[in-house]
A and B are shown apart, each in its own frame.
Chain A
Amino acid sequence: MSKVDFKKKADGIYSLSVIGMVCPHPQLYTKKAMTKLAKDDILEVEFDNTSSGEAIDSISKSVGFEISSREKSNNNYIWKLKKL
């Protein structure tokens, strides 16, 4: 459940699952995963730690990512972050 799962789904699309993790792990892994992406790549982050969302939001702004969609299902958040 608390396993970090970072995969390349397709060309330019990556997924990071940090379900079950609590602060600060989801935001730390997200920031580190962001460094692996090139311009226009998309990172789909799946997390269920509400407070990490605020940090991911701020990091995205500061390192040049745009949050292109925010979904929520069964208390899991799936955010798509696009590298600008």
Chain B
Amino acid sequence: MTNSLEKNKIWAMVVAGLLVIVSLIYFSINIFYIYLVVYIWFGVIYGMLLQYGRFCMASALRDLFGLGVTRMFAGIMLAVIIFSIIMAFLETIKMTTFHTGPFGGFRIVGGLIFGIGMVMSGGCASGTLYKCGEGNGTSMLALTAITISQAVFVNIGGYFDKFTTIYVENLPEYSMSEYISTAPMSYFIGNSLLNTIIPAIILLIIAYVIWGRKSYISNTNLKITLSEEISGFFQMLAASKKTVIAGLLIGIAAGAHVFTIDALRRYFDIENFGELLKNMGYSCDINSNGRIFDPGYWYITTQEAQLGAWFLKHIGINTTSNLFFNGVGVPFPLRNPALWMSLGIIFGASIMALWNNEFKIKIPKGEFIVWGLLGGTLMGIGARAGMGCNIGAFFIRVAGGDPSGWLFGLGLAIGSLIGVKFFDWWTTRKLDNFDDFGDL
């Protein structure tokens, strides 16, 4: 075991070393690629932290509803609270890349479909990436399905174009800071406190009362004092050291990412990486407005859709003649900064998993092939129908003061509940032959 541990640590350094070499190659081609390299390394940081803390939205809701385990739910809420405080600070000093998004029922529907998919495949959009980095084959199938299903879904019969022009584009957008006139505190009070911290604490209290309490209060039959309840609540929050550390650092990293991209845009005097691509002569990569998808913050699924469309196009299936791909562009994958962020997450998770001797190639078999592909397809459809995933439509939006994030979160919760009920039925059905303690 010691030998394999040492060997894996060397492999972790090899992966990190290769990423350094890739970064240097980009620099040597053109200094503009520093923009893309920043995305790579923020991806690596996210990947390392996600793997370290086993950070996953699917785990948060599924284990809460299905098993009464509050650990991950508490971790996500903690991360979003920290990130919201940093975002409010960045908004105050006008160093942010965040934009509000449309507010409407489509967020709930998209979240619901995505929620069922993430429970089925065993990981959310970010969880799927970190699990790919651990060698999890089911997650690799899910990732493939997310990639292809999005590209196909937005191109079927022009329906997605109609959904965008007739419905989404006419929806209002909200930022909670607009309702708070006490500048300069409007971002802290509106976005962070009202949109994130108070709802997150309410949800944590609900999770504590329904699920967490019985684990942290030794005897719930006796009369319990308020201080015991408060102590139990904080024990729930701090139940997993790894989760708490990862949650805090993810919140900080996501804030640092926004700040760094904004600083780079100011440095190059651009609003979008498409301008740098054009400058380097890659007009083929950008859309008619000279742009590509360049969120400026943590994002997962859109770049995977771009990869899917690029791949399909190169095997003769064109899915790019629609509003979605006209907007985000279909750049060459190696010149797509957001896609490099997703790859960075996979590599970052690999580095951390190898370092801690937790890397294992697992080939999916039997029903897991179905769960991976079906779950990934549902996540892909849900991500497009809800305009984002657990990161882009929930985590970033909630912390940025955009209440539409909670709509997606509500959808995620309902979808997770459906997914949990399904798997509960499925595993119980398999267990019916199991009362004699024979094979399942």
Contacts and interface: CB of A to CB of B under 8 A. Distances in A.
A75 B215 contact: no
B54 A2 contact: no
Interface string B415-436: 0000010011001101100100
Interface in A3-49: 3-8, 14, 20-25, 27-29, 31-32, 36, 48-49
B67 A27 contact: yes
B427 A28 contact: yes
Given A31-B67, A58-B69, A50 B134 contact: yes
B266 interface: no
Contacts of A57: 240
A31 B424 CA distance: 11
B136 A61 contact: no
A73 B1 contact: yes
Contacts of B214: 62
Nearest to B371: A22
Nearest to B362: A20
A22 B127 CA distance: 12
A79 to B, nearest CB: 15
A32 B428 contact: yes
Nearest to A24: B62
Nearest to B138: A22
Interface residues of A, number: 36
Contacts of A67: none
B313 interface: no
B223 interface: no
B1 A36 contact: no
B439 A6 contact: yes
A14 B440 CA distance: 14
> Chain B interface residue count: which class?
35 or more
Contacts of B434: 6
B437 A8 contact: yes
Chain A contact residues, majority secondary structure: mixed
A55 interface: yes
B54 A51 contact: yes
A39 to B, nearest CB: 18
B94 interface: no
A72 interface: yes
A29 B72 CA distance: 19
Interface in B192-242: 214-215, 239-240, 242
Interface in B31-73: 54, 56, 58-59, 62-63, 66-72
B437 A62 contact: no
A58 B74 CA distance: 13
Contacts of A62: 68-69, 214-215
B122 interface: yes
Contact of A22 (B240, B368, B427): B368
A25 B239 contact: no
B358 interface: yes
B59 A55 contact: yes
Contacts of A61: 215
B350 interface: no
A22 B69 contact: no
Contacts of A14: 437
B413 to A, nearest CB: 16
Given A28-B424, A73-B1, A3 B440 contact: yes
A28 B66 contact: yes
A22 B136 contact: yes
Contact of B59 (A28, A36, A51): A51
B63 A5 contact: no
Contacts of B54: 50-51, 54
B228 to A, nearest CB: 17
Contact of A24 (B122, B358, B367, B439): B122
Contact of A51 (B56, B357, B430): B56
Contact of A72 (B1, B58, B69, B368): B1
Nearest to B63: A55
Contacts of A4: 430, 439-440
Given A22-B136, A58-B63, A72-B1, 12 more contacts: A2-B368, A21-B368, A22-B139, A22-B364, A22-B371, A24-B63, A24-B420, A24-B423, A28-B66, A49-B136, A51-B131, A59-B67
20 contacts: A1-B363, A4-B430, A6-B434, A7-B437, A20-B365, A21-B368, A22-B371, A23-B56, A27-B69, A28-B423, A28-B424, A28-B427, A49-B136, A50-B134, A51-B59, A54-B59, A58-B69, A58-B70, A72-B357, A75-B358
Interface of B: 1, 4, 54, 56, 58-59, 62-63, 66-72, 119, 122-123, 131, 134, 136, 138-139, 214-215, 239-240, 242-243, 353, 357-360, 362-368, 371, 420, 423-424, 427-428, 430-431, 434, 437-440
Interface of A: 1-8, 14, 20-25, 27-29, 31-32, 36, 48-51, 54-55, 57-59, 61-62, 72-75
